[in-house]
Amino acid sequence: MFSLIRPGATRGELLEVLRTEGGESTRFWRTYVYKECPYIKVDVEFKAAGEGTLENERDVIMKVSKPFLEWSILD
């Protein structure tokens, strides 16, 4: 399930398996949740692909935390 989520993959590849979580985030760091179970989460750090401050599907994953369990955060 998390085999696509590794350093060198893109944000677009990550979004095939995970979705964004509420709460604080930046273009360079965000928490994602597994689409099938919103309590399984990972924190992901990115390297920007291109200019600007908006997230881009071509942003490259630099670091991924170990999966963890946590209640959902709703904004």
pLDDT tens digit sequence for 39-66: 999 999 999 998 888 999 999 999 999 9
pLDDT at 3: 75
**H or E segment and range at residue 62:** strand 60-64
Amino acid (one-letter) located at 2:
F
**Identity at 69, one-letter amino acid code:** L
The residue type found at 38 is P
Token duo for residue 2: 């998390």
The per-residue pLDDT for 52 is 83
Secondary structure (DSSP) of 9-47 = -BHHHHTTTEEE-SS--BTTEEEEEETTEEEEEEEEEEE
Would you give the end-to-end CA distance of the chain in angstroms? Answer: 26
